[in-house]
Amino acid sequence: KPRIHVDTVEGRYATAHDFWVPGEKVSDDYFSHKPVKNIDFDIPAARHWFGELAIKYGYDDGIVGWWNDEADTTGSDTEFMNMQRALYDSQRAVSNERVWSINRNFWLGSQRYAYGLWSGDIDTGFASMAGQRARMLSAINVGAMQWGMDGGGFKGHPSDENYARWIEFGAFTPIFRVHGSFDEKRQPWVYGPVAEKAATAAIRLRYSLIPYIYSYENQRHVNGVGLVRPLIFGWPHDENVRNDIDSWMFGDYLLVSPVVQQGQTEKDVYLPAGRWTDWFSGKVYQGGRTVHLAIDDKGWGDIPLFVRAGAIIPTQPVMDYVGEKPVTELTVEVFPSDQRSTFDYYDDDGSTYAYEHDAYFSQTLATQRRADSVQFDIGAASGTFRPALRFYLLKVHGPSTSTVTVDGKALAPRGDLGALQQAGGDGWASGKDRFGPVTYVRLSAGASAQGVRLGLSH
């Protein structure tokens, strides 16, 4: 909280140094029921002092995340930003551990201070959930790329269906979390077996996409544009998407349109120009039009999710938490198109600021379909960090492959996926999945391969 008890050592210090918000009267804190006043975080000396207190009484005792609240009541637009700025600067001064925070308000420039934004103490219910879409996309439009919400709503108890759909929505937001007031529980098993199954599937899908998600977090750090993007970012001249809050891009290659209506049995989704593939069914759609989808109003497990042509999507085995097991192989879903597309895969230690000193791993993956082949390139790795990753298992979707060469040399065929996995090392195999024919190509990670060529069967 942004306030200090007046009748304490710290309160008297704030009085002596004129750190209080100007003109503010003493009030009774609703937690302690003792007199408090708010600190003016726009004063640099106040920030430094408060930050040192936070380290002494919080970080040094094991508090490693900051949940900042109620710094939006003082009349200063920059109070919230500067409160977290105080915490960020103080932790960076004493530790190399990454700063983490969520905050209830945002001001331009806040993202410089490890600033996550959550949308406040929202109600449960479908109307409240649906309203979060506009709040998220509006926040992202002004630079608040690390946005999240109280999954399930803060006030009240969501219905089982509302909870399941909220988890599916949350799985495709930058910060995925749940919260509830008082004795509210937000674990999937609290909401019955149907909701638990749907929510679990969404959580596991999110965790499989961690390599994809984390790579876009690096892009956010470098370029300012992160994981979630309003459709207008990619199609600025398409009038159909200028006020579209029903769908958004999740990275460059996934379009999602979560179900946010109770008992919905059908849904129309506008797909911008391009070629799109349904993630779950494999059905292909041409964009620039609205598609009509059937929605499961009994099992609640479907998420309208589409893959953009040219997609390169790295995935990992599902885990209960990030870092539970070393990731030694990434499965890379590849949907080549006639235009060259790229993906910058990124990894680092996940916990420190060593990446600021080149301790990261980055490698550009690229693909393009040609008349009689598919080209896939792996660029030179950069950075000094060496992850556990040993192999990329490419899943190249499209026509069947007759030969695979790497830098002009034939790659050993292994028959099917099982044989490829048992053989270990580089190789390729053919198979089928929900998208149709697929070519599996297993290549060493870290090494560049500027000419992986898949000869197509006719």
Residue 72 annotated to the active site? yes
Contact 279, 212 (CB under 8 A): no
Q: Which of 7, 121, 296, 372 is catalytic?
A: 121
d(CA 202, CA 167) in angstroms, rounded, equals: 7
- Within 10 A of 446 (CB to CB), how many other CB atoms are there? 16
User: Catalytic: 244?
Assistant: no
Tell me which of 69, 123, 297, 377 is the catalytic residue. 69
CA distance 50 to 293: 53
Check if the beta carbon of residue 42 is closer than 8 Å to that of residue 48: no
Active-site residue, selected from the candidate residues 40, 42, 72, 244: 72
* Distance from the first to the final alpha carbon of the chain: 66
State the Cα–Cα distance between residues 404 and 329, nearest whole angstrom. Answer: 20
310's tokens = 């040219």
Measured between alpha carbons, how far is residue 228 from residues 109, 131, 152, 218 in Å? 18, 16, 20, 13
Q: How far apart are CA 429 and CA 356, in angstroms?
A: 40
Measured CA to CA in angstroms, residue 312 lies from 250, 340, 343, 427 at distances of 13, 11, 6, 19
DSSP E strand stretches across 298-360: 305-308, 312-315, 329-334, 341-347
- Read off φ and ψ for residue 16, nearest 5 degrees: -65, -30
List, in order, residues 6 or more apart from 357 with CB less than 8 Å away.
none
Instruction: Name which of 148, 305, 104, 141 is nearest 225 in CA terms.
Output: 141
Q: How far is CA 303 from CA 167, 242, 269, 318, 334, in A?
A: 11, 23, 12, 18, 21
By annotation, the residues acting in catalysis are: 69, 72, 121
